[in-house]
Amino acid sequence: MIYNGVYRVKFYRNSRTGRSPVKDYIQNLEVKRRSKIYKYICYLRDSGGYLDEPYTRHIQGKVRELRIDFAHSRYRIFYFTFIEKNIILLHVFLKKTNETPNREIAIAINNYNDYINNYNLYEKD
């Protein structure tokens, strides 16, 4: 969790496995990339979950994407803002095409639904 006294950033955890795909993905990156991604996450947190393009973009429903470019690598983190000033990071991927793949959006929506349907598991986070 990343907290600034007002907004909190939380990493989605799968209700079945307990694993956090976004946290795991970021932790496996090299230090420079990981640092830049955390910097953008803090920027998102400090802005209350809403940044204009080119930093974020609406995807579907409540789901948005945080856009982080690093040289020729384009990382995308899907997230949504939730009650009590929480920003939930749902899914991350390395974008390789101009269009956001439907498969990646489907994973984010699945994670969103899992979080919403199992919110009681996360209340203590």
Residue ranges and CATH numbers for the domains of the chain are 2-122 (3.30.2310.20)
Residue 14: what pLDDT? 92
- Assess contact for 105 and 60: CB atoms under 8 A: yes
What is the tens place of the pLDDT at every residue in 39-66?
Answer: 999 999 999 888 888 999 999 999 999 9
Q: What is the mean pLDDT of the chain?
A: 90
Query: What is the C-alpha separation between 106 and 114, in angstroms, rounded?
Result: 12
Radius of gyration of the chain (CA): 14
At 124 the pLDDT is 53
More confident residue, 6 or 103: 103
- pLDDT surpasses 90 at 4: no
pTM, rounded to two decimals: 0.89
* Position with higher pLDDT, 66 vs 72: 66
Q: Tell me, what's the pLDDT at 119?
A: 72
Give 45's Cβ-side CA count (13 Å radius): 20
Q: What is the mean pLDDT of residues 84-92?
A: 94
Tell me what pLDDT residue 68 has: 95
